[in-house]
Amino acid sequence: MHSYQINKHPSYDMLLNHAMGNTSEAESLIISCHIAYCPICKKEIEKYEEIGGYYLTNHEKLNVSKDLWKNILDKVEDLEQEHKQNNYLSHSIKSNLTNDVIKIPSFLTKYLEKMHNTDSWKSTINNVKYKDIKFKDSNFKGKLLEIPAGKMMPKHGHEAYEATLVLHGGYKDEKGEYNLGDLVVASSDEVHSPIADTNTGCLCLVVYSGEIQFKGLIGSILNLSKF
Q: How confident is the model at residue 2 (pLDDT cuts 50, 70, 90)?
A: very low
Report, as an integer, the average pLDDT of 93-115: 94
Whether the pLDDT of residue 115 is over 80: the answer is yes
Question: pLDDT band at 126, cuts 50/70/90?
Answer: confident
Render pLDDT for 90-100 as a digit per residue (tens, 0 to 9). Answer: 799 999 999 99
Look at residue 189 in the predicted model and tell me its pLDDT. 78
Helices (H), the chain: 12-19, 25-37, 39-57, 68-76, 109-112, 216-225
Amino acid making up residue 78: D
pTM for this predicted structure: 0.81
* pLDDT tens profile 55-70: 555 556 666 666 766 6
Please answer whether residues 96 and 146 qualify as being in contact, where contact means their C-beta atoms are separated by less than 8 angstroms.
yes
Q: Which residue has the higher pLDDT, 50 or 68?
A: 50
pLDDT in tens, 154-184: 787 777 789 999 999 999 998 899 999 999 9
Q: Which residues pair with 207 in a beta bridge?
A: 142, 163
Q: Residue 85: is it exposed, middle or buried by C-beta count within 10 angstroms (0-12/13-18/19+)?
A: middle
In the predicted model, is pLDDT for residue 1 greater than 80? Answer: no
The DSSP symbol for 153 reads P
d(CA 147, CA 200) in angstroms, rounded, equals 9
H-assigned helices in 58-149? 68-76, 109-112
Confidence of residue 73 (pLDDT cuts 50, 70, 90): low
Question: Is the per-residue pLDDT at 38 higher than 90?
Answer: yes
Domains contained in the chain, CATH given: 7-227 (2.60.120.10)
Per DSSP, what are the bridge partners of residue 4? Answer: none
CB-based contact 163:209 (threshold 8 Å): no
Q: Tell me how far apart the alpha carbons of residues 211 and 123 are, in angstroms, rounded to a whole number.
A: 19
